[in-house]
A and B are shown apart, each in its own frame.
Chain A
Amino acid sequence: MIVLTWAALKSRYRKTFAGFLWVLLNPLIMFSVQAMVFKQFLRINVPNFYVFLLSGLIPWIFLVQTVQMSTPTLVSNAGLMKSFRFHPIVLVGSVVLDNFVNFILSLLILAIPTMLASEVPLERLLYLPLCLLPFLLGTVAISAFTALFNVFFRDTNFVLGFSFAVLFYLTPVFYPLEFIPAHLHWVVDCNPFYQLLRPFQVAITGADLSLFWSVWWRALAWSSGMAIVSVWYWRRKQNAVYFHL
């Protein structure tokens, strides 16, 4: 999988001029624009808003990009899948890993200076590896599921693109959880994407770190659940996938 990822990176950047810079540019622009709009225009009053925004936005961008890039992989590699025997999770895994490299680099490159300029101590970044476990598991599970689903319904990615655009407003990324009235908390409680990226927010900007473990376990439960569903779906549909490709 690592070899495949490396090759994907090489293949992608062989003909580009600025290479990795483009990958960094996307989160950088998204972050700058949102930081300006919400902090300067709308004047959202959240302590250390820039760090808070980063801690949710960068994982969100990774999640959305990875799922949308993974969704067509089985269909676009149909020839390969039918030529050799290998587990299709390798294809999804290599997309995830490919994006993951970009994600970690852009997170560190953007977060470290922003944190230094704020009151948030850099030590908070030590929680990152812990946050990554449920987050990556969940990302792989969702990506595998949508990639399989796309074999049967080729319009999956259109629906996903639209859903993510809508979900972004329903996910506390640019506003904190506290802004949501208590009777509407169920909206985020059953938002799997929010559950997955919540540990990042709590670990990096949360005022109360004692919350971390309960949030982390919840993310792990969600991601494990999604992984089980994906495995079940693959087992059920394995033959149909090859018939449809």
Chain B
Amino acid sequence: MLAFATRRIVGSIPVLLVSSFVVFLLASLAGNPLGPLLARNPPPPPQTIAAETARLRLDDPLLSRYWQWLTGLFHGDFGPSVISTLDIGTELGARFLVTLRLIAVAMLVALVLAVVVGVVSAVKQYSITDYSATFLGFLFLSMPSFWLAILLKQAGIGFNLALGDQVIFTIGEATPNFQGSFWERIGDVAGHLVLPTISLALISYAAWSRYQRSSMLEVLNSDYVRLARAKGLSRTTVLVRHGLRTALIPLTTVTALDLAAIISGAVVTEQVFQWRGMGDFLLNAIRTDDVYATMAWLLVTATVVIGFNLLADLLYAVLDPRIRYA
């Protein structure tokens, strides 16, 4: 398995290199980082434009810029941002943690919901519960994430009004400069976390609950489950020990493979809820034609996605002995 993992990691390096080169070319050619400066009224003095041109390496040929960026990475230098005060590496590190928190909590909530609803739907196939879960699954699946987020915000405001207190917040990860006890601070963070988490979780939950349902149905109709029942095992033992355990294998890999989609969802969620994570970082970078910031985002995200794809393969082998011994 170690050889397999090593092969996969080495194989992903050319993928990263080629994709970074293509994105660097596209990002560099698509916009002009000096555009906002050139359009200013009153105009900046020529010395300012010259200084910014030099700082952003715009006098250098494109290939030279890419090479400087690539070699700079080995020294921890992600290149100059259009924001002169921004250290891309430091900023990205802080934002990575923010996104990680959002995604981790949302994935956890989505997984728990998906497993419970998927199993119940499978066990009570074609019941009203199953139909309701199916309806909701497809509803959330088809709902644009930003729209769902806006609905949740309005619901949160309605909840606050009904309660006569502000416990649900619509922007940010916490109240800035919050004054209060430890527990009040926990409450404040939770009040900020609830809406974005639900928003991001519901979209993943929708797809995953469908996977879990079909996987569970397949297992419940298999011969070994029938045998377990025939042997007189209790219904709970059959469902949990023999059914659910096996039916979780496809969901595990789907979850790991879906990470790219969740990161995409997080871009929208972070924007709507004004979380300063990786998604917000990417949108700012694109908005300001910040080539090096865009590249840094791509590098981190691509590495995470490749890592999770590898993890999915490894997990599958760990969970399913048939794969491991094949």
- Are chains A and B native binding partners rather than an unrelated pairing? no
Q: Name A residues whose Cβ lies closer than 8 Å to a Cβ of B.
A: none
Q: Name B residues whose Cβ lies closer than 8 Å to a Cβ of A.
A: none
